[in-house]
């Protein structure tokens, strides 16, 4: 199952549960935040019966700290970005 199967993911999304930094340096891109900014990628969990938004936020913290976004980031060394599709295509494993 992909993240897009259980959540709405898009930019300019003030109703999101949290946001992912879409554009910045290699150190900041992909970082989750609770602060709305129109350029960030908003994530709102729709299937709260199987996934809690707070848990997903901390999963994104782990992905960011693990360097998950660095290979996907495109652009120059000073300014890189990730795509909405990169977030939508994250695979979730059910246990």
The H or E element spanning position 63 is helix 53-65
With 0-12 / 13-18 / 19 or more C-beta atoms within 10 angstroms meaning exposed / middle / buried, residue 18 is buried
- The token pair that represents 18 in the structure block: 């949290």
Backbone dihedral angles phi then psi of residue 84, each to the nearest 5 degrees: -60, -40
Residue 92's pLDDT band (cuts 50, 70, 90): confident
Over residues 21-75, the pLDDT tens digits come to 999 998 999 999 999 999 999 999 999 999 999 999 999 999 999 999 999 999 9
- pLDDT of 77: 74
Q: d(Cα 5, Cα 54) in Å, to the nearest integer? A: 17
- pLDDT of 46: 97
**Can you give the residue ranges of every domain in the chain?**
3-88
The topology (CATH level 3) of 3-88 is: Adenine-n6-DNA-methyltransferase TaqI; Chain A, domain 2 (3.90.220)
């Amino acid at each position: 199952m992909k993240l897009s199967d259980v959540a709405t993911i898009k930019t300019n999304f003030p109703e999101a549960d949290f946001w992912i930094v879409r554009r910045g340096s290699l150190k900041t891109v992909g970082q989750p935040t609770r602060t709305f900014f129109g350029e960030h990628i908003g994530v709102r969990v729709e299937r709260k019966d199987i996934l809690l938004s707070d848990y997903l936020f901390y999963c994104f913290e782990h992905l960011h700290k693990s360097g998950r976004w660095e290979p996907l980031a495109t652009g120059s060394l000073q300014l890189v970005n990730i795509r909405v599709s990169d977030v939508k295509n994250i695979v979730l494993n059910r246990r």
